[in-house]
Amino acid sequence: MTTRTVSDSNARVVGGRDQLIRYFAGGEKPIERWRIGTEHEKFVYSVGDRHAPSWDEPGGIRDLLLGLTAYGWQPVEENGKVIALTGLDGSVSLEPAGQFELSGAPLENLHLTCAETGRHLEQAKAIGDRLGLGFLGLGMWPDKARDQLPVMPKGRYAIMRRHMPRVGGLGLDMMLRTCTIQVNLDYSSEADMVKKFRVGLALQPLATALFANSPFTEGKPNGMLSFRSHIWSDTDPHRTGMLPFVFEDGFGYDRYVDYALDVPMYFVYRDGRYIDAAGLSFRDFLKGDLSVLPGELPTMEDWADHLSTAFPEVRLKTFLEMRGADGGPWNRICALPALWVGLLYDQGALDAAWDLVKRWSMDDREALRDAVPRLALDAPLPGGGKLRDIAGAVLDIAHAGLAARDRTDAGGANETGYLEPLRAVVRTGKVPAELLLDRYHGAWDGDVAPVYDEMSF
Residue 380 lies in a domain: yes
Q: How far apart are CA 15 and CA 412, in angstroms?
A: 50
Q: How far apart are CA 88 and CA 104, in angstroms?
A: 9
Task: Work out the pLDDT band at 7, boundaries 50, 70, 90.
Answer: very low
The answer to whether 42 and 136 are in contact (CB under 8 A) is yes
Range of the domain at 443: 17-455
pLDDT at 368 over 50: yes
CATH number, domain containing residue 390: 3.30.590.20
pLDDT at 259: 98
Residue 11 lies in a domain: no
What is the per-residue pLDDT across 418-435, written as a single tens digit (0 to 9) for each?
A: 999 999 999 999 999 999
The CA-to-CA distance between both ends of the chain, in Å, stands at 22
Closest CA to 152 of 303, 271, 44: 44
Q: How far apart are CA 177 and CA 197, in angstroms?
A: 28
Residue 99 lies in a domain: yes
What is the per-residue pLDDT across 277-317, written as a single tens digit (0 to 9) for each?
A: 999 999 999 999 999 999 999 999 999 999 999 999 999 99
- Overall average pLDDT of the 116-120 stretch: 98
Neighbouring residues of 422: CB distance < 8 A, sequence distance ≥ 6: 210, 335, 338, 339, 395
Q: How far apart are CA 52 and CA 148, in angstroms?
A: 8
What is the per-residue pLDDT across 250-269, written as a single tens digit (0 to 9) for each?
A: 999 999 999 999 999 999 99
Task: Work out the pLDDT band at 9, boundaries 50, 70, 90.
Answer: very low
- Overall average pLDDT of the 120-136 stretch: 98
State how beta strands 240-241 and 311-312 pair. Answer: parallel
pLDDT at 426: 98
pLDDT at 10: 55
Average pLDDT value over all residues in the chain: 96
The answer to whether 323 and 314 are in contact (CB under 8 A) is yes
Task: Work out the pLDDT band at 374, boundaries 50, 70, 90.
Answer: very high
pLDDT at 453: 96
Q: How far apart are CA 418 and CA 336, in angstroms?
A: 9
**Ramachandran angles phi, psi of 279, nearest 5°:** 90, -10
Q: How far apart are CA 335 and CA 432, in angstroms?
A: 13
High-pLDDT (> 90) share of the chain, %: 97
- Per the structure, how many domains does the chain have? 1
- Overall average pLDDT of the 14-24 stretch: 96
Neighbouring residues of 208: CB distance < 8 A, sequence distance ≥ 6: 226, 229, 324, 325, 326, 369, 372, 373, 376
Query: Which amino acid is present at 23?
Result: Y
Residue 93 lies in a domain: yes
Task: Work out the pLDDT band at 11, boundaries 50, 70, 90.
Answer: confident
Task: Work out the pLDDT band at 5, boundaries 50, 70, 90.
Answer: very low
pLDDT at 370: 98
Residue 309 lies in a domain: yes
pLDDT at 222 over 50: yes
Residue 9 lies in a domain: no
pLDDT at 120: 98
**Ramachandran angles phi, psi of 242, nearest 5°:** -100, 0
Q: Return the HEC string of 274-343.
A: EEECCCCCHHHHHCCCCCCCCCCCCEHHHHHHHHCCCEECEEECCCEEEEEEECCCHHHHHHHHHHHHHH
What is the per-residue pLDDT across 333-356, written as a single tens digit (0 to 9) for each?
A: 999 999 999 999 999 999 999 999
Q: Report how far apart, in Å, the C-alpha atoms of 340 and of each of 311, 334, 347, 402 are.
A: 19, 11, 13, 10
pLDDT at 1 over 50: no
**Ramachandran angles phi, psi of 276, nearest 5°:** -70, 115
Residue 3 lies in a domain: no
Chain-centre distance of CA 61, in angstroms?
Answer: 21
Q: How far apart are CA 446 and CA 238, in angstroms?
A: 38
pLDDT at 85: 98
High-pLDDT (> 70) share of the chain, %: 98
Task: Work out the pLDDT band at 33, boundaries 50, 70, 90.
Answer: very high
Residue 279 lies in a domain: yes
